[in-house]
Structure 1
Amino acid sequence: MLVTVFTPTYNRQKQLKGLYDSLCSQTFQDFEWLIVDDGSEDNTADVVKEWIEEEKINIRYHYQQNNGKHIAMNWAVANAKGTLFVTMDSDDVFRDDGIKIMVNAWKSIPDEQKETIASVKARCFDPATEKPVGRDIPHEHQMCSYLDAKYKYKFDSEMVSMTRIDVLKEFPNPDIRGGYKNGGLRFYPEGIWQDLAARKYKTLFINDQICGYTQDNSESLLGRGKKYNRYKENIHLWPHVINDNLDYFFYDPKSFIKAFVGVSMDGFFLKMSVNEMLNLARGLLRKSMTFCFIPIGYLCYVKRR
């Protein structure tokens, strides 16, 4: 297999059908669909069994105790048969030529450069409107650091990635177990490993919109209409941003202010003391900035509580 398409799922049997149909329609077929079921209690296993018996595409199914998407991904990376790895959530869909476009983009990279490239990233579209998500990529493609794309160029909105499996093995998710049912993490923020890998590898960004993606705005600090419930996950993200990425502050101050506010806001949700919040930041500068934003963090906590 050249490509492994990985889908973590939890009680999503109805949503999976759209993704299954889109994978069956792919013009490129040298892939496996690796489904890791994170402790579903619906009929996901029976539905997937029927699809396996249809033999339209190569499907493997693995059931695990509910421990979160990050643990499912670690298992998938360790057991994938492909050399390139794509994560597709259960409510995503591919354009018919989606995998082919990404594979062709990867093959277009000169062999002598491939060791320096971690991923190919393509844009998404809103399935409801078919409008593209995020900012256009200049000249149809751009090779750069993921950190540069995110903070300098600001065209890294939600995108679908095809990543070398050996790079993913180099940057595994932490083994934090528990899962949704047991009050643990539902996921470990994927941006963390991507940021860390960006210090060593570049990414090829392409302008093609190949993945239908249902947008979720619940990460907004002051978002309305949804109960905020990402504090257990984001308490890992905010310290990473302020500790590891602060050299990009002046390219995108808003993102870093959001992170400094997020440390205390999510800290209050987790009933952390001010001292514990400050200990999440490294060095006097970061601790001082974290302290200065605590009043705003508290107001955000009260609003979202």
Structure 2
Amino acid sequence: MACKMKPTLTVFTPTYNRVDLLARGYAAVLRQTSHDFCWLIIDDGSKDNTREVVRSWFDPASMKEEGDHIIGVSKDASWLQMHYCYKKNGGLHTGYNKAIELMDSEICVCIDSDDYLPDDGVEIILTEWPACKAKGLIGIIGRDYYLDGRVIGSPLPNVESACIIELSNRYHHVGDKKIVMRADLLKSVPPQPSFPGEKNFNPIYMILQIDKFGKYLLLEKNLCYVDYQETGMAANIFKQYVNSPNSFCALRCLHLTLDYTTWKYKLMNILHLSSSAIIAHDLSWLGKCKYPVLAYLSLPFGYILSLYVRKKSKTTISTNI
């Protein structure tokens, strides 16, 4: 099942027990000044009444419900195509995998359930995309904003385009940003792997897999309002290191294959790889990375880091992703 008419853009929203915040996102998509998009909601096994609330947003005459899917148009805006999909809880990265599988559009952007689009967010993306495509760019990187209107992070570099990894390594940009990507490229790489019992695998893994295909237009415009939650992924990084060590090993191994990275960056990832491998009780990860000798030599330092990570994980708040 997919949106009835193929849109240029898919706005996908992974959600888990966030029905109270999801309504704000729905209101935001209704206010969009450009309508060439589909809203894809991936429900990662919510135990609240997310499905019932989302169902109430559909126009009953258009709604088609089959198993875990509901498709149709909004009762509040006949132009708004919506697709709801329920899946067994597996973590945010599995929501990305399912969204990539289902989307049928040229480009896509993730708007988390606790965040929302500015009223002209879709219009900005669709206005910029034709020129991006003509230049061979693979997407757009725009800005995230706090709810009070402050921009998140440092300014983007004064260049037209860059790879994601270039932003931090070459231009020293810091802070979250909104990434619009070509859907076909995400579909062309393997889905993000899952490890038993681990649900905190950062979806940046999928995004970095396509970094090798090209660069993104850098756009100093607001594409998303961000409402950081105490139970969100960003707030619980040390617990994630402990609860999902194999996932972080896989992510560190990927980081070590990327272009535009400095040796300082490589050594930092090697150290974190050693720490995560120790926490996972699986040192075979060290032999799988691009620099196995350095990885094994880093074990004493990785052990010290693993002790620090375990200690810090006991002082941060819990998460339920």
Q: Identify the TM-score tier after normalising by the shorter chain.
A: 0.7 to 0.9
Q: Contact between 1:67 and 1:177, CA under 8 Å: does it hold in 2? A: no
Q: Counterpart of 1:52? A: 58
CA RMSD in angstroms comes to: 2.7
Q: Counterpart of 2:305? A: 297
Cα offset, 1:82, TM superposition:
2.0
1:214–1:192 Cα change, 3 Å = same
Q: Counterpart of 1:134? A: 153
Q: Counterpart of 1:13? A: 19
Q: Contact between 2:12 and 2:39, CA under 8 Å: does it hold in 1? A: yes
Matched, 1:124 2:144: yes
Cα offset, 1:3, TM superposition:
0.9
Deviates more, 1:12-21 or 1:41-50: 12-21
Deviates more, 1:151-160 or 1:15-24: 151-160
1:1-56 Cα offsets, whole Å, 9 max, x none, are: 11111111111111111111111111111111111111111100011011123242
Cα offset, 1:277, TM superposition:
5.1
How far apart, CA to CA, are the structure 1 residues paired with 2:98 and 2:305?
A: 36
Secondary structure at 2:138 match in 1 = strand
* Aligned sequence identity (%): 23
Q: How many aligned residue pairs are there? A: 286
1:247–1:3 Cα change, 3 Å = closer
Q: Counterpart of 1:69? A: 92
Q: More helix per residue: 1 or 2?
A: 1
Q: Contact between 1:123 and 1:132, CA under 8 Å: does it hold in 2? A: yes
How far apart, CA to CA, are the structure 2 residues paired with 1:213 and 1:295?
A: 35
Secondary structure at 2:274 match in 1 = helix
How far apart, CA to CA, are the structure 1 residues paired with 2:241 and 2:166?
A: 32
Q: Contact between 1:218 and 1:228, CA under 8 Å: does it hold in 2? A: no
Q: Contact between 1:268 and 1:301, CA under 8 Å: does it hold in 2? A: no
How far apart, CA to CA, are the structure 1 residues paired with 2:241 and 2:184?
A: 37
* Aligned pair partner of 1:204 in 212, 217, 224: 217
1:148–1:68 Cα change, 3 Å = same
* Structure 1 runs, 4 residues or longer, greater than 6 Å off: none
Deviates more, 1:44-53 or 1:196-205: 196-205
Q: Contact between 1:269 and 1:301, CA under 8 Å: does it hold in 2? A: no
Cα offset, 1:247, TM superposition:
6.1
Q: Contact between 2:241 and 2:309, CA under 8 Å: does it hold in 1? A: no
1:188-237 Cα offsets, whole Å, 9 max, x none, are: 3332333332222111111112211234644656x9xx996453532322
* Aligned pair partner of 1:278 in 277, 283, 286: 286
Q: Contact between 1:82 and 1:165, CA under 8 Å: does it hold in 2? A: yes
Q: Contact between 2:32 and 2:121, CA under 8 Å: does it hold in 1? A: yes
In structure 1, list runs of 5 or more residues that go unmatched: none
TM-score by length of 2: 0.79
How far apart, CA to CA, are the structure 2 residues paired with 1:68 and 1:207?
A: 31
Secondary structure at 2:160 match in 1 = strand
In structure 2, list runs of 5 or more residues that go unmatched: 1-6, 60-74, 314-321
Matched, 1:154 2:180: no
* Aligned pair partner of 2:187 in 153, 165, 169: 169
Secondary structure at 1:192 match in 2 = helix
Deviates more, 1:161-170 or 1:257-266: 257-266
How far apart, CA to CA, are the structure 1 residues paired with 2:287 and 2:20?
A: 43
Deviates more, 1:23-32 or 1:77-86: 77-86
Cα offset, 1:87, TM superposition:
0.8
Write the letter of the residue equivalent to 1:208.
Answer: K
